[in-house]
Copies of this chain bind each other. A is one copy, B any other.
């Protein structure tokens, strides 16, 4: 940390403490700091130095692996073990990778505000090529030109440098999907960024499905209907910043939006994931509430308010939205859908979720953050929407012996009854849990000495049976300063360890989520 960017009037450590633990009131008046920065000429861009404090935005910097920032091409990676020669596709990943340190008054910003850095492993014929590129959207380009951070706190435009007022603040850092031949990269506060699925060139900074996307925002977790190949997505704060509106749409397999409806939430809060069944849209409103006062005071977008009820909202697919009904239940904080389906009017959705705040870097309004309450379990929500009088959903914790986050499934079974779910197991015996809902059993894939990122399921072939294939994801070697191996487990025998490891010469850029795309869905993937 050079003293060039140390704020003269502000003790950062004190400020960060306030951000982490405090409320909006503690932050009042700090948002005004951006004005002074704008008066410097771009040529006076400060020397780039991330804070030393690990809790700060990009804290620890390059040496700590907190930032990577390097666009890479590694052709023909080194592979150990036996990579199946008939595996043909791309494993995509994306995560926040701070492009620049924040100005000191915003050094307490949260990791989720890092700019989206996409990586891909192109696997074909026993060979693997690695490539990474930033999503070069408006935000990235403005900061690149200025050689400095121009955006302040997480989803708080009042903290931005005046030079970027009105610019799309999206970071494209959460998840990506390959659909209708396009790699769509998502951040839930903005439209997708469309990147070329092979070159990772940014093709459209704000992809709106040919102007048909009515929402100003888009979830990081759309779903594919395997019966039609269509894409179903939604956005919250859909009609404007802090709005309670939710837009839900469905596009056909060619990306043409043919259904779009906008409904209202009980309040504006985080809606990170949703569930789509064959007949229903299932929304979930968490009590991670958007907080206008905290935002006005220069803080982050959300505040965890345990006094607010969480809601499960259900409506028919293809309807006009007037049938949307919000159900309450146990006040859980759920994040990712493992799977869900409906049998008639009876809906089942499995989530990972805790009893309390799962994101400690967002302030909690009523209580200090409780890691025990934040611990994730698989929560099975059921509700019968056939009853006019029922306004409650039921919740059951299944597989209570397994704690974890980042639940996934065989993505070909979105909307359908499913057998296999996957969970990132937290705790000392961490790894990837393979949950067999039919048999009620589970097993854990792990690698000694490695910390694993989120797993993604890869079908053995496009028409393989559910769950028959591989789990793929990054492992970080704890004894080698975090050096990465891409791990490939065969789901038929995870106890045997990875069937193949792609040995990387460095710690790969971090990720939130990953996605597998079959080569046959990627235009030009196997061009001569």
CA distance in complex: A147, B63 (Å): 33
Q: Which residues of B contact A78 (CB under 8 A)?
A: 48-50, 61-62, 67
**A47, A65, A74 interface centre (most CB from chain B within 10 Å):** A47
Q: Which residues of B contact A244 (CB under 8 A)?
A: none
Copies in the complex: 2
User: Which of A79-87, A247-255, A427-435 forms contacts with chain B?
Assistant: A79-87
CA distance in complex: A465, B436 (Å): 74
Contact present for A70 and B74 (CB under 8 Å): yes
A69-B505 contact given A45-B127, A481-B480, CB 8 Å threshold:
yes
Q: Which residues of B contact A82 (CB under 8 A)?
A: 2, 4, 47
- The residue that A70 contacts in the complex, of B63, B73, B125, B481, with Cβ under 8 A, is B73
Contact present for B503 and A506 (CB under 8 Å): no
Chain B nearest Cβ from A139, distance in angstroms? 15
Q: A74: nearest residue on chain B (CB-CB)?
A: B70
**A496 at interface (Cβ–Cβ under 8 A)?**
no
Q: Which residues of B contact A2 (CB under 8 A)?
A: 79-82
Instruction: Identify the A interface with B (CB < 8 A).
Output: 1-2, 4, 43, 45, 47-50, 61-63, 65, 67-83, 100, 125-127, 130, 144, 147, 477, 480-481, 483, 503-507
Contact present for B71 and A72 (CB under 8 Å): yes
**A2, A81, A506 interface centre (most CB from chain B within 10 Å):** A506
A505-B506 contact given A2-B79, A2-B81, A79-B2, CB 8 Å threshold:
yes
- The residue that A505 contacts in the complex, of B67, B126, B144, B477, with Cβ under 8 A, is B67
Contact present for A70 and B68 (CB under 8 Å): no
Q: Which residues of B contact A76 (CB under 8 A)?
A: 48, 69, 100, 147
Chain B nearest Cβ from A235, distance in angstroms? 31
Q: Which residues of B contact A79 (CB under 8 A)?
A: 2, 47-49
**A49, A68, A73, A78 interface centre (most CB from chain B within 10 Å):** A78
